Amino acid sequence: MIQVRVPRIPGHTLLHGPQTEPLTVSEHQRGRSTFGLNETPHSGGIMGALLAILYALVALSPLIFVALLRMKGEMTLMHEVATSLALAAYAIMALQPVLASRWKWIERPFGFDVVIRLHRYMGAFVVLLLLCHPPGMAFGGAGMGLLTNIIQPWNVWVGRVVLILLILQVVISVGYARFGMTFEQWRRSHNFLAVLILTGAFIHSWWTAYDLGPIAMQLLWLALFGLTIFAYVHHKVLKPRCLARRAYRVVGVEPETHNVWTVKFAPPAGERIYEYQPGQFHFITLQRLGGLPVEEHHWTISSSPTNKDFISSTIKESGDFTSTIGKTNVGDTALLQGPFGRFCYTLYPEDKDFVFIAGGIGITPLMSMIRHMRGTSKDANVLLIYANRTEKDIAFRDELAQIESGSSPRLKVIHIVSSPESGWTGESGHLDRDKLVQLLGRQGEQTAYYICAPPGLAKIVIESLRSIGVPYARMRTEEFML
Amino acid sequence: MRLKKLKIFTVFFIILVLIAAYVLGLLRTYVFKPPPSSAVVPCTVFMAKKSNGLEPVGCSDPAFRG
């Protein structure tokens, strides 16, 4: 199987790299589910299907209610369709904070990347639905004044402002980097606009919609708005407070390369590290002294769950915030929220042999898996193809060589650098199709391929594997984007 | 595979919402009838005192006058 992960560098989207957020798959470790639930690795299918159906039902609940109440429309067909689109849009909007709330029972069956992608897709869909709403109402009998007249009731103006804010929200989310915004600035503006949009949408519909006359519709509207508020407050207020009461301590900050650092965290005294699977990621809020920025970022867990002393993330200096990561000190505190993701070999017990393909910082989730294999003495063949720009960019080089000299797993590491310096005797060049075919050699049909690299490289790798007959079913790819 | 399933679900969901909105629009325009209660138009009923008690003699809604 191939798993592609996307490491996140502020302002960019990467496909699996050291600075990434791994999306993981969970496994049963020593007879106990480390995913937190007693689920089989593939049980997410049923739960996922149920959640998908539930999502569709809630999104369509206003239309279902109107149909069950047999509510006669006010005007023309076009008017009623435009109304229905707005009703559905409101319910979908109400579910947006739920998708982004990081509830594990929602994330677990799909992976965080899938849930966040759905959040994005639905945001764009809501905009399209609501762009149809005013013209549909106007042409459907409400009159062109709805579109052209400045003098309108205040509740109509609230709807207009909400639509403008919604468009602004989507435009900023798609292109915040092009507007010179940092990831943190985008996140703050996104949260602020979300509050305005959701509140405004509720106010507009509550004071405008003829369909909210029946008490059942009013209760549904209040329930949807309540769900929105609860998801938002839980995500932004309750959960952070809960995490703050169980803040982790930084117990180690170690350089891996000239610009990559491993930060180790230990739980509060008397508590255990939360259970996770190799390859998963978590959100970290570093609380450091010296005026260093306090921001939440998501990074792959690079340690193995078999290590009970600490949990670590390996972070590359690649942005304003991460450039300060080496200034983190032992004794600093951090809020850790996790684990998330489905990029984990332990979720696929049928996989016996592996090809891991990493680009740059994309090595981190694969390193977690390799360490886990070593910690559990896994009987498996693992070929690691690790691409970097230069030799000095190679992280974990000594540890990989040490594991390679062992027998469980039977690890073979191939380093490839694109800009070799004098004295480099390993593979060199870009990891294109021909090079990949050469390095892969002969692989069995059941070999699983896990890919974690920047998007460009990951795309090349996936297309190359497809061209030599590796089916998607044996590739597990995972993107991480926010 | 997961992303592919997501795209399939998204397309299916979008089509479902659009069809549901259109079908509901059809139902509300051509099938559903106004509930009996909505046939009652709020208005002021003018009463007059007659020998056998109060009796309606008019309505503020023109449709019901006379």
From chain B, the residues in CB contact with A66 under 8 A are 24, 28
Q: DSSP class of residue B42?
A: P
State the amino acid at position A326 in one-letter form. G
Rounded CA gap, A25 and A108, in Å? 8
For A247-301, give the DSSP string.
Answer: -EEEEEEEESSSSEEEEEEEPSTT-PPPP--TT-EEEEEEE-STT----EEEEEB
State the amino acid at position A446 in one-letter form. Q
Segment A432-474, tens digit of pLDDT: 999 999 999 888 888 999 999 998 999 999 999 999 999 988 9
Instruction: Kindly state the average pLDDT of the residues A92-116.
Output: 93
Query: Residue-wise over A194-211: b if at least 16 C-beta within 10 A, else e?
Result: beebbebbbbbbeeebeb
Token readout for B53 is 């008690």
From chain A, the residues in CB contact with B37 under 8 A are none
State which H helix or E strand residue A24 sits in. Answer: none
Rounded CA gap, A41 and A347, in Å? 5
Q: Are strands A32-33 and A28-29 parallel, antiparallel or unpaired?
A: antiparallel
ipTM over 0.90: no
A105-119, A154-168, A323-337, B44-58: the lowest-pLDDT one: B44-58
Give me the residue from B22, B25, B32 closest to A70, CB to CB. B32
Query: Mind telling me how many Å the CA of B59 is from chain A's nearest CA?
Result: 24
Q: Answer yes or no: is pLDDT of A407 > 70.
A: yes
Instruction: Assess B21–A contact: CB distance below 8 Å, yes or no.
Output: yes
CA-based end-to-end distance of chain B? 72
Instruction: Kindly state the average pLDDT of the residues A238-261.
Output: 95
Angle, CA of A6, A7 and A12, to the nearest 5°: 95
Segment B8-60, tens digit of pLDDT: 999 999 999 999 999 999 999 999 988 665 555 566 666 777 776 777 666 66
Pairwise CB contact (< 8 Å): A80 & B17 = no
pLDDT of residue A170: 94
A44-53, A306-315, A392-401: the lowest-pLDDT one: A44-53
Own/partner pairs for A40-49, CB < 8 Å, 24+ apart? Answer: A41/A346, A41/A347, A41/A348, A41/A349, A42/A347, A44/A108, A44/A109, A44/A110, A44/A342, A45/A109, A47/A105, A47/A108, A47/A109, A48/A109, A48/A110
Instruction: Kindly state the average pLDDT of the residues A116-134.
Output: 96
Rounded CA gap, A359 and A430, in Å? 11
| Dihedral over alpha carbons A466, A471, A474, A478 (to 10 degrees) | 60
pLDDT of residue B60: 60
pLDDT of residue A27: 30
Rounded CA gap, A14 and A344, in Å? 18
Rounded CA gap, A17 and A22, in Å? 9
Identify which has the larger pLDDT, A478 or A5.
A478
A39-48, A117-126, A400-409: the lowest-pLDDT one: A39-48
From chain B, the residues in CB contact with A471 under 8 A are none
Q: Minimal CA–CA distance to A100: which of A241, A208, A13, A227?
A: A227
Query: Mind telling me how many Å the CA of A323 is from chain B's nearest CA?
Result: 32
pTM of the model: 0.80
A64-68, A121-125, A468-472: the lowest-pLDDT one: A468-472
Q: Which three-class secondary structure state does DSSP give residue A432?
A: coil
Rounded CA gap, A381 and A384, in Å? 10
Rounded CA gap, A80 and A73, in Å? 6
Q: How much of chain A exceeds pLDDT 70, in percent?
A: 90
Give me the residue from A63, A72, A110 closest to B2, CB to CB. A110
